[in-house]
Structure 1
Amino acid sequence: MKKIIAIVIAIALISASLLSVNAATISELEARQAELEAQQAEYQQKLNDSNAAVNEQQQEVDALVGQVESVTEEIQVCYQKIAIYDESIAEKQTAIDAANAEIEANMDVLRQRIKTIYISGDVSALEIVLGAKDFSDFLDKLQLVQYVSNHDEELISGIKEQLDAISDEKAALEEDKAELEAEQATLTEKQTELNTLLEDNKETLAGLQSAAADAEMQLSLSEEELSGLSEEIQAYYRQQREALAAQQAAAAASSSSDDSGDSGSSSIDYSAPQQVETDGSWTWPTPGVITSEYGEQRSYESHNAIDIGASIGTPIYAANSGTVVNCNSSCPHTNYGGSWCSCGGGYGNFVWILHDNGYETIYGHMISTAVGYGEHVSNGQLIGYVGSSGWSTGPHLHFELRINGVKSNPMNLY
């Protein structure tokens, strides 16, 4: 009998010591967890902003690429049109050269005829020819016209008119070509400016993409660390449950020995999960209405609890009997009115109760607590009062349920 009692006392002392040491570090872990969650919210917002900026900058780059392609196509069209003008001008020049050659040939024929006149001895006609100042003056001389056939005169005049018309067309083509070359120069300058702007925007886009990648990497690292902390915290509470189960098993063994004289252990395995009765045996924790449901999606996380709206000082009751395994009553920000603090790992003033079968309930954002660490509480017992401490945007009770360390919907209890 004495040996069993000694074992019970030893287990109780070891468990109490273990829980006390772990309780000191769990607050630090949970504070770090709250800090990481805040960082995640910040990184997620940065990532969202960066991705939005990247998308906007990408649209601008795409628009500039489209403009560059359009201007480049315009320049190509200008090149093609200039080539056509060059071809047309060359054709006109060929026609001008042909007309000039034809005029020269007819002048040779005319000179030959004049020579024939001279040989025939018609000196007066020769004097008229030699006295002419130019070809036009020559044609105007009535005395000479009678020696030149009407056919020759019409031929030369027609060629001269044709030559003048072709020269005018060539001049017009050259003027149009000059205007087109000026337009091409303007387009080329615009193309250069657009390409410079495009390169600048590509550099900006690359910077934004790099910032988005950094934010995504920071978010990933934060999630990795947060995952590790969550495992540590869950291990802590699992250790507490095992220690509590060992105490209960030892106490049951002692009680059985006292009743029957048998030093054997209890037949109940307190460490094994058991079915918890939820048919009305759980107490609603505080008067009020649900203002935030379980699983509600927020900017950086899913809300894995329910919020019950109530005024400052409204009593809070234990949802079921159990042992207070963690609590905080030192947060001075009991009515922050929309601002946040990281007291109590974001829970502010809170009470954490371990029930049977691996069930835990957490009551956060209190103005003050009415129970302390290690205290056994009964179903419906007063444990604190509604406040707005920690990460709270106004007076309410944060009511959280965990089953074997996993956050679950508290409404499944009712």
Structure 2
Amino acid sequence: MQNVQSQINVLNQQVSTLDTSIQEKTAQLSGKQQEVNTTFDELKKRLCAIYKTGEASTLQILLSSQNVMDLANKTYLLRSITEHDVALINGLKEEMQGIAAEKAEIEQNRADLTEAKSTLDQKRTELGALQSEAQNVLDGIANQEQGILAESDALSMEEEEIRRRENEAGDRIDQWWADYYAEQKRQQEELKRQQEEEQRKQQEQAQQNQEESESSTQPVEEPEQESSAPPVVNDAPLEYVGGQFTWPVPGYTHISCGYSSDHKAIDINRTNGNSIDGAPIVAANSGKVVKAGWDNSYGNFVMIDHGGGYSTLYAHASSLAVSTGQQVERGQTIAYVGSTGDSTGPHLHFEVRVDGVRQNPFNWFSAG
């Protein structure tokens, strides 16, 4: 379209130049035509005079000479008049030829002008078509932009809704861990109480046996010792298993969504153009799988207790490789990356908790 506009500008300049040239040449031609008309009028008067006097007048002029000198002067005068007439006629011919040439040039310029205007009209029509097409394209782009903005708004609303449900799920998990640690503490206190009660009973039995032994000569048979350790209800590690966390998806380090107050986790997805879908998810450290199953927001997920209040969560898996209650080792495959639950694409949603409270995972390990 810029090229067509440039051509139109050139044609406009040509049209303007041709118009100016035609006007100038027409004015010049008008002046010359007036000069030719004046000269022609003089020539007509001269010829008319010659016609009226005829050739005798010239002979009379010569015969009326007084002497040779007078004859020579009159002959020179007649020759001069004749030469003037011839020059006048020749000049008139040249001017007429010049006028004819300039008229031809003007006509050619007018033809060129007509052609230039025709070309200009074509280019303007072409430019109009291009502008119309460009406007249609712009209108289409504007419509697409509106559609994209609408989709973007809808996507933003969807993402906000997903984030809201994800935070609700996180809050539920926080409460689950609070109940979990409360139950663990209750079990520990109950174990301690049972141990103290068993120790007290053993002490009372020992004292009773001693008293009976002092009052009797017969040996008293020792009662059979019972195990002092009650059955363990929760076999999760109480102390931290030790060591550093390992990256949960080896080979994939791109963080699509980092840790923030509104997203208390990190999302790991494709790296260097390689899809993460189906990649193995490994345990960041050894521990016990305290929960492995389905959540409407987290999709397929796994939670591991590493002891000492440390735990990790792995969400949106396509499938699980462990089950609740299973002991796992650091680096062991526990699931596979997917896009289940509230997810817009394959990624791993990874959380680290301390005493049931979500923390920034990068406080304990670096991507690698």
Q: Is the 8 A contact 2:254 2:270 kept in 1?
A: yes
Alignment of 1:111-122 (within 5 A): 111=47, 113-114=49-50, 117=53
Q: Does 1:223 align with 2:159?
A: yes
- Name which of 251, 255, 266 aligns with 1:291: 251
Q: Which amino acid aligns with 1:170?
A: K
Q: How far apart, CA to CA, are the structure 2 residues paired with 1:363 and 1:290?
A: 16
Q: Once the 2 structures are TM-superposed, how far is the Cα of residue 367 of structure 1 from its aligned partner?
A: 6.1
On the 8 A contact 1:347/1:390 being kept in 2, the answer is: no
Equivalences, count: 280
Match of 2:36?
Answer: 100
**Alignment pair present for 1:170 and 2:103:** yes
Distance 1:260 1:241 in 2: 28
Displacement of 1:182 = 0.4
Q: Which residue of 2 aligns with 1:324?
A: 290
**Which amino acid in structure 2 is aligned with residue 327 of structure 1?**
G
* Displacement of 1:178: 1.1
| Aligned equivalents of 2:92, 2:178: Cα separation in 1 | 120
- Choose from 123, 129, 151 the match for 2:84: 151
Distance in 1 separating the partners of 2:86 and 2:366: 119
The structural deviation recorded for 1:316 is 6.8
Return the structure number with greater helix share: 1
Match status 1:180 vs 2:130: no
Partner of 1:380: 329
Q: Deviations over 1:254-281 (max 9, x none)?
A: 55666779xxxxxxxxxxxxxx968527
CA distance in 2: counterparts of 1:239 and 1:163, whole angstroms: 113
Q: Does structure 2 conserve the Cα–Cα contact (< 8 Å) formed by 1:318 and 1:379?
A: no
Higher relative contact order (CA closer than 8 Å, sequence separation 6+): 1
Secondary structure at the aligned position of 2:251 is classed as: strand
1:81-100 aligned within 5 A: 81-100=17-36
Counterpart-to-counterpart distance in 2, 1:290 and 1:196: 58
Larger radius of gyration: 2
- Pairing partner for 1:194 from 91, 110, 127: 127
Under a length normalisation based on structure 2, what TM-score does the superposition of the two structures give?
Answer: 0.58
Alignment match of 1:353 (pick from 299, 304, 309):
304
Match of 1:402 among 352, 355, 363: 352
Could you tell me which residue of structure 1 aligns to residue 8 of structure 2? 72
Q: 1:220 Cα deviation (Å)?
A: 2.4
Structure 2 distance, partners of 1:83, 1:413, is: 77
Change (3 A) 1:389 1:80: closer
Equivalents in 2 of 1:147, 1:365: separation in Å? 122
Residues 218 and 358 from structure 1, CA distance in 2 versus in 1: closer, same or farther, beyond 3 angstroms? farther
2:173 counterpart (223, 237, 241): 237
- Compute the displacement of 1:359 (Å): 3.0
CA distance in 2, matches of 1:82, 1:177: 8
1:362 to 295, 314, 317: 314
**1:294 and 1:305 in contact (8 A); partners too:** yes
The Cα offsets for residues 8-54 of structure 1, whole Å up to 9 and x where unpaired, read as xxxxxxxxxxxxxxxxxxxxxxxxxxxxxxxxxxxxxxxxxxxxxxx
- Structure 1 Cα separation of the partners of residues 367 and 13 of structure 2: 77
Deviation (angstroms), 1:86:
1.8
- C-alpha distance in structure 2 between counterparts of 1:230 and 1:363, whole Å: 10
User: Contact 1:352–1:362 at 8 Å: present in 2 too?
Assistant: yes
**Aligned partners of 2:330, 2:80: CA distance in 1, in Å?**
144
| 1:193-239 per-position Cα deviation (integer Å, ceiling 9, x unaligned) | 12222222222233224323433333323332232222222222122
Task: Answer with 213-222 or 377-386: which moved more.
Answer: 377-386
Is it true that 1:304 corresponds to 2:257 in the alignment? no
Q: Structure 1 278/148 Cα, relative in aligned 2: closer, same or farther at 3 Å?
A: farther
AA matched with 2:103: K
What one-letter code is carried by the residue in structure 1 that aligns with 2:106? L
Q: Which amino acid aligns with 1:402?
A: V
Find the aligned partners of 2:178 and 2:128 in 1 and give their Cα distance.
70
Identical aligned pairs, as a percentage? 16
Q: Tell me, in whole angstroms, the C-alpha distance in 1 between the residues paired with 2:173 and 2:195.
A: 33
Q: Determine which of 144, 159, 162 is the counterpart of 1:211.
A: 144
Decide whether the 8 Å contact of 1:315 with 1:384 is kept in 2. Answer: yes
C-alpha distance in 1 between matches for 2:31 and 2:105: 15
Per-residue deviation at 1:93? 2.3
Work out whether residues 89 and 174 of structure 1, in 8 Å CA contact, stay in contact via their aligned partners in 2: no
Query: Partner of 2:143: helix, strand, or coil?
Result: helix
Structure 2 gap ranges (5+): 61-77, 198-238, 258-265, 272-277, 341-346
Distance 2:80 2:330 in 1: 144
1:98 and 1:382 mapped to 2: Cα distance? 110
C-alpha displacement of 1:168: 0.9
